[in-house]
Structure formats: C-alpha cells, structure tokens
A and B are shown apart, each in its own frame.
Chain A
Amino acid sequence: MYVRIEGDSLSDSAKGISVACTTDEVFVRVVGRGTFQNSQPLRRFAMEMIEKGYRRFTVDVGACPNMDSTFLGVLAGIGLRLRQDGKPAAEVSVVSVSPRNLDLLQTLGLDRLFTVQTLETNGTPVSWPAGAAVERLPDSDIESLSKPLDKNETTDLMLDAHNSLVRADERNAPRFSGVTKFLRESVERGRSDKSK
C-alpha cells in the first residue's frame, strides 16, 4: 500500500521515496539519504513494476545527499534484472546526480550500468509526469520508520545488494569482500537457527 501525495511537484521536500508511473515508465524520487533502511520498499516496488512489464525507470537523486552501498546495490539489482530480461529499451536513468553521488556511481562502475545525468547535464529539475499519481513508498523515510527493521530480512537484502554490486562490476569484489563474507555467514547462521 502506498501513500498518495497531493499535487504533482517533484520538489516535494518531505523525506522518503516517492514514485509515479506512466504507461511505460516508472519515476522514482529520493528525498534524503538512500540507505539499507529504505532500500527494501524501493526493491519491492521496483520488482513489482518489472513484473508488471515496466522496463524504463528514472530515479531522481537531486535531493538525496548520499546513498550507501546497499541502496546503490538495490539500484544495481534493478538494472541487472532489466538487462537480464534482454528486452529492448530497458533502462535505468539516474538523474540530477550531484558531484558526490556521481563519484560514488563511478567508483562502483554503475555509471556503465545506468544512464547518468548530472545536475549540470539535466539543466532543470525533472518533473513528475503530467497527470500521474504520485505515491510515497511506506517506510521510506529513514528518520520515521514505523517499525524496527527485521534482522534476517535486512541481512538478506544487504547481501543481495552487495552481490549485485559485484555482478555489476567485478572490481567491487575486493571492496566488499569483508561485508559480503560477514553477511553471508550471518544469513547462514539465521537459516541454521530457523531450521532448529
């Protein structure tokens, strides 16, 4: 269930992740940090849209001061899933990218997976598509989560996201070897505890 936002402005300053869909494209706007704490609702929504047949995603990060590796890994997972489907015109565009976020995308090699537009190349802020209903993803503002994160679900999400970063660019393997090893062991421990 998503929260409907009145109005159609992308300049909405409330923190969280808002989304809107046209007939063939999904728009996502991130306001505030993108972290492992709000990656799950984005992943769920994106996978739901891909299942529905959407192949083009535009992610506006102009009001997102920082993205952590899990959030970037979830974005990478969306890009990889679209690429894996092999459908024409499948694309993730990340727009209004600040110099700091551009540096992160380039460091992780994601500028080769996504179409990247910086704040300079965009020129003007991206608008919501005319007439599209804008909705806010639940629990996407990390400062006001309605419930504590589930440990196993979060660990799974983080492991999957970091694996996506490595699949997107093998040079990420040594960078994240520590965290992926720890998360893998943690996931295995969780499964083993469940089976007891």
Chain B
Amino acid sequence: MKDFHIDREARGAIQLIKLSGSLDMYSFPRLESQLSGMFEQGLIRVVLDCRNLDYIGSAGLGALIGFAKQAREKGGDVKLLNVPERIYKIIELLGFTKVLQVHETEEAALGSFAS
C-alpha cells in the first residue's frame, strides 16, 4: 500500500492540493489538518487533484463534503480533479458527485471558481 502524500501549490487564489496514496481513516487527519489550517487563513478555494490517489474511504468522502459545505458558506468550495475511474465509480454510486464537483482537467477545475 502506497504512503499517503500531500503536495500543495497555489494557483492564484486557488489552492491545488495533489494527493497520492490511500486516503483512509489513518491518513485523513493529515488532510483534515491541512484543510482546517487553510480555512483559518481564509484559503477556501481548493482543488484536490486525485490523479495519484489509489483509494478513498467512505468516512474521508463524508468529511470532504463537510469541508466543501464550510467553504461554500464563505464563498469558496472544495472540488475534485483527475479522479481515477475506479474511485469515480464509487463516489458516483454513493451519490457524492451530487455534492462534490468533479472535473477532468485542471483548467476546468480552476475555471469553475470564476463562474
């Protein structure tokens, strides 16, 4: 099982967070801490690049919805990018795609904040 890694880059006012490895209950607190810290600084426009993510757990997805809602209340959002097909199938099955925006390209994800 791959270790979980988080890499953060700023794209103007948007934070692009590249995730790799398994996002499960064991690793999620690290992302939670990263997002909480960013929200405290007012960085509420977030794109999570999931290209190298090999697993995401149900509790992690639920918590992401919570972060997305928090961000929306302040005019921001948390969106997903490059979601691998096997993970997309899961989040679509569970209906998470109704509350978390998923984009296929970085351009589309970043551009969606302007619209």
Query: Given known contacts A36-B58, A151-B93, is B25 in contact with A68 (CB within 8 Å)?
Result: yes
Pick the residue among B26, B61, B66, B94 that contacts A100 (CB under 8 A): B26
Q: Give the interface size bracket for A toward B.
A: 20 to 34
Enumerate chain A residues within 8 angstroms of B90, measured Cβ to Cβ: 37
* A70 touches B (CB below 8 Å): yes
A178 touches B66 (CB 8 A): yes
Interface presence of A93 (CB below 8 A): no
Task: Give the number of residues in B that approach A within 8 Å (Cβ atoms).
Answer: 20
The answer to whether B65 touches A69, judged by C-beta atoms less than 8 angstroms apart, is no
Within 8 Å CB of A177, what residues of B? Answer: 66
> Shortest Cβ distance from A175 into chain B, in angstroms?
7
The answer to the question of B22 belonging to the interface, with a C-beta cut-off of 8 Å to chain A, is yes
Cβ of B1 under 8 Å from chain A: yes
Determine how close the nearest CB of chain B comes to the CB of A192; give it in whole angstroms. 14
Interface 1/0 per residue, A85-103 and B, CB below 8 Å: 0000000000000001001
Are B93's CB and A149's CB within 8 A? yes
A41 on the interface (CB 8 Å rule)? Answer: no
B55 contacts the other chain (Cβ, under 8 Å)?
yes
Report the separation of the CA atoms of residues A149 and B63 in the bound assembly, to the nearest whole angstrom. 22
Select A66's contact among B26, B65, B94, B99, beta carbons within 8 Å. Answer: B26
Which residues from B are CB-within-8-Å of A36? 58
Nearest opposing residue in chain A for B59, CB measure: A69
In the complex with contacts A176-B62, A180-B62, A68-B57 CB distance below 8 A:
yes
| A100-B26, A107-B25 known; A68 vs B65 contact (CB < 8 Å) | no
B12 at the interface (CB under 8 A from A): no
Residue B88 at the A interface, CB < 8 A? no
Binding site for B on A (CB under 8 A): 33, 35-37, 65-66, 68-70, 100, 103-104, 107-108, 148-149, 151, 154-155, 158, 162, 175-180, 182-183, 186
CB distance from A164 to the nearest CB of B (A): 13
Q: Answer whether residue B24 sits at the interface, using C-beta atoms and an 8 A cutoff.
A: yes
Kindly list chain B residues whose C-beta atoms are within 8 Å of the C-beta of A180. 62
Q: Of B1, B59, B94, which is within 8 A of A68 by CB?
A: B59
Looking at A68, A155, A162, A176, which has the most chain B CB atoms within 10 Å of its CB?
A68
**B22 and A70 within 8 A (CB):** no
By beta carbon, the residue of chain B nearest A189 is: B95
Q: By the criterion CB–CB under 8 Å, are A103 and B61 in contact? A: no
Known A-B contacts A151-B94, A182-B99; the reply to A66 vs B24 at CB < 8 A is yes
